[in-house]
Chains A and B, each alone.
Chain A
């Protein structure tokens, strides 16, 4: 198992991707998908120095659901802000971080920038602070608390 499928999640994703991109579903297509799903992670393993360990699938599923909801909600907020007479001017926020795992930080950066209204600008060299640019900021402390609770805490459970 460890030898032939070192990264099961990546293998599953490649298998699904291959079948979705190559309709119709047939036995040869499934065979090629299996070959791709087994060979690519093995060939790519030397390129990835740090191997992420994903735990707590339930926490992960809930985080994905939360992010999907947040993307929809903040889409509406950004649109409303744009149509207002005077659009918000935005502000920089510095957030102290406890998450230190490299994969977790990468996931946090993708989530932050993927949700409209927040952009990840820079991470301190010692990974203890991150600076975001926020589209519409009313209460910085409340934003920081919400951000840490909603995204950082589940990522710490998943990756640390």
Chain B
């Protein structure tokens, strides 16, 4: 009754598990990295690889289910590819600004 070929379900299963593992590894950064700036890198794992894998699983599963390409999930990684770097850079700027004001050990402003 399912109507979805077994190999599609198998590929989707692999992608979904890979996405879950990537999310966990990326969250380890919150515990293991020493400084705030080092902690900014690991979440990129979740917003790039984990999202790509989950979206790919969703696209192939729904396309097989409806026997027509169901592509709307692609919008999410494209949107995130633009918005996540913007928020990350804003946070980095805010962090370095606040640390300078507190006199913490960060590089001085770039000259010019």
Contacts and interface: CB of A to CB of B under 8 A. Distances in A.
Given A87-B32, A87-B33, A129-B110, A75 B85 contact: no
Interface stretch (A26-34, A41-49, A118-126): A118-126
Nearest to B49: A75
Contacts of B38: 87-90, 133, 135
Contacts, number: 124
Contact of B85 (A72, A109, A123): A109
B56 to A, nearest CB: 13
A113 B41 CA distance: 9
Nearest to B84: A114
Contacts of B14: none
Main secondary structure of the interface of B (DSSP, over half): helix
Interface residues of B, number: 40
A104 interface: no
Nearest to B110: A124
B32 A114 contact: no
A78 B70 contact: no
B40 interface: yes
A125 B89 contact: no
Nearest to A92: B107
Interface of A: 17, 20-21, 23-24, 71-72, 75, 78-79, 82-83, 87-90, 92, 94, 109-126, 128-131, 133, 135
Closest 4 CB pairs of A and B: A113-B85, A116-B44, A126-B112, A124-B110
